Amino acid sequence: MRESIKVLFDRQQRKQAVMLMVFSLVLALIEALGVGSVVPFVTMLQAPESLEGTRLWNVLIMVFGQRNSQSMVLSLGGALLVVFVLKNALTGIQFRLNYGFVHEFFRRLSSRLLASYMAQPFVFFLGANCAVLSKNVMTETYYVAEQIVAPALMLFSEVLVLMAVIGVLFLYEPVLSLVALGVIGAVLGGIYYFSGHISRRLGRTRESTSSQMAKVCHESLSGIKDIKVSGTEAYFVGIYDSQAKIQTRATALHLTLEQVPKLVIETGVAGTLIALILYFKGSGTDASGATATLAMYLVAAYRLMPSVNRINTSIIRLRYLEAGYAAFAPVLTEALHRNVFEQTPAAPLPLEKELVLTDVRFRYPGGESHVLNGVNLRIARGEVVGFIGSSGAGKSTLINVILGLLKPDEGQLCIDGRSLKEKDIRSWQAAVAYVPQHVFIADDTLAHNVALGIPHDQIDWRRLNHVLDVVQLSDLIKELPEGVSCQVGERGARISGGQIQRLGIARALYRDRPILVLDEATSALDVETEERIIRALHEDSKDRTILIIAHRYLSLRNCDRIYRLENGRVTAAMTYDELQRSVDNISS
Ligand SMILES: Nc1ncnc2c1ncn2[C@@H]1O[C@H](COP(=O)(O)OP(=O)(O)OP(=O)(O)O)[C@@H](O)[C@H]1O
Ligand SMILES: [Mg+2]
C-alpha cells in the first residue's frame, strides 16, 4: 500500500508536500514559543522578583532590553499576543494550502482513475460493474483525498507540534514531560495496536456495502420499467436498505471508536493534573513556581489534547479507508506505470488487401468452454460479408475479436499478412466503425449522439445531415421543433427502439471509416425501412468493407459471401443465392 500511495504523487505534488511540511515545522516552533512563554509571563505577574537573576531573566533582558519588571510584563504580554496572532494567521494560511493540496490531489486522482478504467482491456469490463466503478471514481477517490491524504498531512504537522510542545515542557519540567510523553505514547500505541484490526474490518464493510448500494441503486433506477410492471419495487428497496443498515452500524461503530481515545486522554490529563497538584503540595514547592508550572501544564494540555486527538483520528481513519483504496489501487498503479493518461487519437491502420483469421479460439474468463472453436475465414478489402447462426453461436464474440476488443486465446487475426499486435489495436480500431447489437445512447441531443465524442463546433453538419438521410431519420427530424438539437433522453428514453438502432448506424456512418461492422443493426426495423436503409448504406459505401451479422436473411441480400457459424466454428460459406436455395430446400 505504501508503494502504491507514493506512486499517486507526481513531482510537483511531492515538492508541494515537502513545502507544506516545512510550513508545519515553522508553525510547530511558533507554537512551542507560545507555550514556552506562558511560564515567564505567569511568574512575572505573580512573583516577578523570583525571576530576577535567573538565566531566563537574562534571556528576557537580551530580547526586550528592559530591566524593570513592570515594563517587562507589558513587553512579554505584547510579545505573547504577537506570537498567538502570528501563529493563528499562519495556521489559517496552512489550512488554505492543505485544502488546496488535498482537493487538487482528489481532482487528479479521480480523473486518472477514470482514465485508468477506460484504458483497461474490454475483458476487464465483462467482470466489472459500472455503478461500482463510477462510485470508485467519484467517491472512493474523495475518501482517499479527504480521509487519507489530509489526515496524513495532519498527522505529520501534529506530531511536530506534539514534539515541540513536549520539548518546551521538558525544559521546565523534565520528569513531568517524560511522564506526559509516556502516557501519550502508550495511548497512541494502544490505539494503533487495538484499532487496526477493527478499523480495517469496519472499513471493508463500508467499502463493500457502498458498492452494493451503488449497484442496487443503479439497477433499481435504470430497470424501473421492468420493476414497475413486475411490482418488485419493495424487493430492490429492501436490498438497498439491508446494505445501508449494515453500513450504518459500521459507520456508527467507527465514529465511536474515533471518539473513545479522546475520552481516555481527557481522563489521563485530568488525572495527571490532580496528581501534579498533590505532588506539589506534598513536596512543599513554593506556590508561585507551582502555579506557573500548572499554568504551563494547562496550556500544554490545552494545545496537546486536540493534537493527540487528531493524531489518533488520523491513525484510525487511515486504517478504516485502506479498503476503499485497495478497491482501485491495482488498476490505477498499473495504468500509472503504463502512463495511459494522454492518449492521442491513433492514425487509422488501413486494410489494403485482406483480413484473415486462422484457427481462432476464444474462451471468456471463467467460461466453461470455448465460444470460438477454431475459426478460419478470409475477408478481402471492399467485400460485403454476412454472418448467420443461431443465438449464442458466437457471432458477436467473433466480431469482438475482429474489432480487437477480445484477444484470441489461440490462433491469430492478420491484417494484410501481419498479425495484429497489442500496439496496433488502437490504429486498427480507428479504421473501423461499429454498430453494436445494443446501441449506446448518451443523454444528449440527437446531433451529439451521431457525432459522439466530437466537440459541437467541430461537427461536420453536411455529413451529419447526409447520414441522417441514409438512415431515414431526416423526415422525423424535420417534424421535431428542435430538429437535431432535440434531447433523446437517458439511453434513448424519448425515441423508439428502431430509432435508437438507426442513430447507431448514423453514428457509424458519420465517422466514414473504411470498415463497417453491423451486429444485428437493423433487427428492430420493419422490412421496408430496413431495405431502404441498406440500399442507401451501400450507396454511401463505395469501396468500404462491410461485415453484417443478421438473423433476417433479407438483410444479407447484398453480401458477396455469407458465413454460417455453429458452436464457435464456421460450418459453411455461401453466396446469398445459395443461402436462399438452402432455405427453400429446408422449407419445401
Ligand atoms: N462475458 C461473457 N462471459 C461468459 N460467457 C459469455 C460472455 N458473453 C457471451 N458469453 C457466451 O458466449 C456465447 C456466444 O455469445 P455471443 O454473444 O457471441 O452469441 P451470438 O452468436 O452473438 O448470439 P445472438 O445471436 O443471440 O446475439 C454464449 O453462449 C454466451 O453465453
Ligand atoms: Mg450477438
The model's pLDDT over 204-248, given as tens digits with 9 standing for 90+, comes to: 999 999 999 999 999 999 999 899 999 999 999 999 999 999 999
What is the number of the ligand 1 atom nearest to the C-alpha of 126? Answer: 1
| 200 shares a domain with 152 | yes
Query: Which string of DSSP letters, residue by residue, matches 54-115?
Result: SHHHHHHHHHH----HHHHHHHHHHHHHHHHHHHHHHHHHHHHHHHHHHHHHHHHHHHHHHH
| 298 shares a domain with 215 | yes
Q: Is the pLDDT of residue 287 over 70?
A: no
Query: Which string of DSSP letters, residue by residue, matches 203-261?
Result: HHHHHHHHHHHHHHHHHHHHTHHHHHHHT-HHHHHHHHHHHHHHHHHHHHHHHHHHHHH
| 379 shares a domain with 316 | no
- Which of 15-19, 68-72, 278-282, 457-461: highest mean pLDDT? 457-461
Distance 408 CA to ligand 1 centre (A): 15
Looking at every residue in the chain, the average pLDDT score rounds to 86
What is the number of the ligand 1 atom nearest to the C-alpha of 397? Answer: 18
Exposure string over 161-170, b if 16+ CB within 10 A, otherwise e: bbebbbbbbe
| 521 shares a domain with 378 | yes
Answer whether residue 253 is part of any domain.
yes
Distance 426 CA to ligand 2 centre (A): 23
Residue 333, C-beta contacts closer than 8 angstroms, at least 6 positions apart: 4, 7
Mean of pLDDT values over 156-170:
81
| 376 shares a domain with 274 | no
| 545 shares a domain with 466 | yes
Distance 364 CA to ligand 1 centre (A): 9
| 277 shares a domain with 362 | no
Which bound ligand lies closest to the C-alpha atom of 387?
1
Residue 144: what residue type? V
Answer whether residue 348 is part of any domain.
no
| 362 shares a domain with 330 | no
| 313 shares a domain with 369 | no
pLDDT score, position 185: 83
Write down the residue that cell numbers 510547530 correspond to: 28
For residue 286, the SS3 value is coil
- Cell numbers describing residue 23: 510550513
Answer whether residue 343 is part of any domain.
no
For residue 373, the SS3 value is strand
pLDDT score, position 1: 54
Residue nearest to atom 31 of ligand 1 (CA): 392
Answer whether residue 464 is part of any domain.
yes
Q: What are phi and psi of 573, to 5 degrees?
A: -130, 130
Residue 568: CB within 6 Å of ligand 1?
no
Residue 302, C-beta contacts closer than 8 angstroms, at least 6 positions apart: none
| 367 shares a domain with 302 | no
State the total domains in the chain: 2
Residue 364: CB within 6 Å of ligand 1?
yes
Pick the more confident residue, 45 or 504: 504
Read off the CATH number of the domain in which 575 is found.
3.40.50.300
- Which of 90-99, 297-306, 579-588: highest mean pLDDT? 90-99
Answer whether residue 128 is part of any domain.
yes
Looking at 286, 303, 336, the residue that finishes a domain is: 336
Distance 369 CA to ligand 2 centre (A): 17
Mean of pLDDT values over 244-270:
88
Rounded Cα gap, residues 444 and 458, in angstroms: 16
Residue nearest to atom 18 of ligand 1 (CA): 394
pLDDT score, position 192: 76
Domain encompassing residue 302: 2-336
Cα separations in angstroms, 234 against 131, 238, 239, 241, 242: 20, 6, 9, 10, 12
| 393 shares a domain with 294 | no
| 539 shares a domain with 472 | yes
Write down the residue that cell numbers 471508536 correspond to: 257
Distance 393 CA to ligand 2 centre (A): 8
Rounded Cα gap, residues 330 and 318, in angstroms: 18
For residue 487, the SS3 value is strand
Q: What is the pLDDT of residues 111-153, one digit of tens each?
A: 989 998 998 889 999 989 999 999 999 999 998 888 888 878 8
Looking at 280, 303, 336, the residue that finishes a domain is: 336
| Residues 484/477, Cβ–Cβ less than 8 Å | yes
Distance 358 CA to ligand 1 centre (A): 20
Residue nearest to atom 1 of ligand 1 (CA): 126
Residue nearest to atom 3 of ligand 1 (CA): 364
Residue 123: CB within 6 Å of ligand 1?
no
Model confidence, pTM: 0.82
Read off the CATH number of the domain in which 142 is found.
1.20.1560.10
Q: What is the pLDDT of residues 336-389, one digit of tens each?
A: 777 776 677 788 888 899 999 999 999 999 888 999 999 999 999 999 999 999
Answer whether residue 226 is part of any domain.
yes
Task: Order the strands of the 410-415 sheet from edge to edge.
Answer: 372-380, 354-362, 410-415, 418-419
Distance 437 CA to ligand 2 centre (A): 6
Mean of pLDDT values over 279-296:
71
Rounded Cα gap, residues 62 and 567, in angstroms: 95
Looking at 336, 364, 389, the residue that finishes a domain is: 336
Residue 397: CB within 6 Å of ligand 1?
yes
Answer whether residue 341 is part of any domain.
no
What is the number of the ligand 1 atom nearest to the C-alpha of 393? Answer: 21
| Residues 449/439, Cβ–Cβ less than 8 Å | no
| Residues 484/447, Cβ–Cβ less than 8 Å | yes
Answer whether residue 342 is part of any domain.
no
